[in-house]
Structure 1
């Protein structure tokens, strides 16, 4: 297992344990090849996505019969002349949308047997998404929570908003101390994310039980929500035929994997957990993505 004994990353090995601000900044070049979930790019000057609301804007939507109170400047004279009845043009307004990225940094995320810590992979995924949103002209906000703290940033424009978010990803032990769990994180997220946002939740989703589902339902009612599950290969299946020692530098655990029934039961529990998340995403019309600690985060997002 990777060890988490150093606080300041200064080598390639340390970068597997704790993400650095430089590595997040360097993701800007890679993020140019990504597109955000579901919404098609229309105009980089006025924002990357076409909103669902109708009003005066760049994209013509339809013509309908004139109604009292309509702006006379929007009269469609061609359709009016052809039909003999006054018609008004309707437009779909092009504008940016808030992109809200919630990142889980609880103790369970400080783990890996291969690749990088789950917390590092989560930070890289968040970094790619933040840069992609910034390059599309969107506002970037976020939530970074641990077992005892939660930091929230309101969506703002520009590179400064991305860097502010990155600082919260690399900081440890800062913020207002609280007794925190996953359900409370979702509750706070539903309060801070404005309707119409694109919300990414990056976590291993430990602690997400049925009593937390109503917060996800509330988020999904008025936003596009993407769940990104980060996991270590050991969590999906145990190696067979031996004794394996795991440590967090304070405690040691030895696992005997010679019992085939135990191996099967272990893998079935992981698969059941994944099916639960998949069904939850389908139920609330969310998107579900998985990314292991050994995968390329860019390929996972693509």
Structure 2
């Protein structure tokens, strides 16, 4: 059965059999499932005043500014006004105190970039990384739309990339989630082998859509990144707020010391013997170098990094990372 094959390909133990041929939610997302996250998404925020527990706080927190402020008018100072709003130059010329009044910008577009390549079609505990990435993207889309901002995205797999310019309202969210569902369902156990979509090509698309003053949320395992990736990411971060959702699986953090594991890319299989120290060291080195690379980006560009794991429920860990709570 195809669903059983997908479970095997993804590495998720088939502890419960699907009731029909419909896809297991740990393997593939559904539009209905992603829509169901809308109410709970109200618990999170990407605004600059984060709770102390939020992963967006801390030593290397992002320069997330939220919406900017538009100057509206100068007016006479009134009792109770914030003295920090006094325009001292105008006050000196006029001889009476004046304050500058600002209004919050009504819109800050958000671009959600979601990796659905075959490297994401893997998981050993709860979800595949692709499902965790898609669910996080859905949560972000719902929250951004709820606060009145425009939502767009770049959804990419190994062979196809969808560029969705930011739009407003439920229609824009549905368009984004539909594209995400399609990309996720292209991942399957019998998918033909192909050269993965270069991450640098994806960043080119991001740069075209997010010229400045966007919130850009990049969700990926950041496989196959290099020095060019860092330069392009840095250029995007110069004019936009950037959050990285780093999706991982616990099997990459704890390499077993015994046993054999069969890995597959959908077309070929390879037997890895973890009793061999060279095999263990090779797997550990790949994982460690990827993590070090993302941490270095965080330090150099002051990006925010949200470490997500496919081993847990997506909503629960996102709320925990951002300091919110689900009622």
Q: 1:261 to 1:248 in 2, by over 3 A?
A: closer
Question: So what's the TM-score if we normalise by structure 1?
Answer: 0.80
**Which residue number in structure 2 is paired with residue 62 of structure 1?**
85
Q: 1:11 to 1:159 in 2, by over 3 A?
A: farther
Distance 2:20 2:206 in 1: 33
1:97 correspondence with 2:108? yes
1:84 correspondence with 2:103? no
Q: 1:94 to 1:270 in 2, by over 3 A?
A: same
Q: 1:125 to 1:179 in 2, by over 3 A?
A: closer
Distance 1:12 1:33 in 2: 30
Structure 1 residue 36, shift from structure 2 partner: 1.9
> Does the aligned pair in 2 maintain the 1:63–1:90 contact within 8 Å?
no
**Which residue number in structure 1 is paired with residue 180 of structure 2?**
169
Distance 1:292 1:37 in 2: 23
CA RMSD in angstroms comes to 3.1
1:13-32 equivalent positions in 2, closer than 5 A: 14-32=24-42
Q: 1:104 to 1:241 in 2, by over 3 A?
A: same
Structure 1 residue 95, shift from structure 2 partner: 2.2
Could you tell me which runs of 5 or more consecutive residues in structure 2 were left unpaired when the two chains were aligned.
Answer: 1-5, 11-18, 52-64, 74-80, 187-194, 322-327
> Does the residue aligned with 2:271 lie in a helix, a strand or coil?
strand
Structure 1 residue 265, shift from structure 2 partner: 4.7
**Which residue number in structure 1 is paired with residue 132 of structure 2?**
121
> Does the aligned pair in 1 maintain the 2:118–2:158 contact within 8 Å?
yes
Q: 1:262 to 1:179 in 2, by over 3 A?
A: closer
Higher-strand-fraction structure: 1
Question: So what's the TM-score if we normalise by structure 2?
Answer: 0.74
Structure 1 residue 289, shift from structure 2 partner: 1.6
Give per-residue Cα distances to partners, 1:163-204, cap 9 Å, x unaligned.
11000001146xxxx994110101110111131111100011
Distance 1:242 1:50 in 2: 49
**Which residue number in structure 2 is paired with residue 111 of structure 1?**
122
1:246 correspondence with 2:256? no
**Which residue number in structure 2 is paired with residue 154 of structure 1?**
165
Could you tell me which runs of 5 or more consecutive residues in structure 1 were left unpaired when the two chains were aligned.
Answer: 42-48, 68-78
> Does the aligned pair in 2 maintain the 1:237–1:263 contact within 8 Å?
no
1:168-207 equivalent positions in 2, closer than 5 A: 168-172=179-183, 180-207=197-224
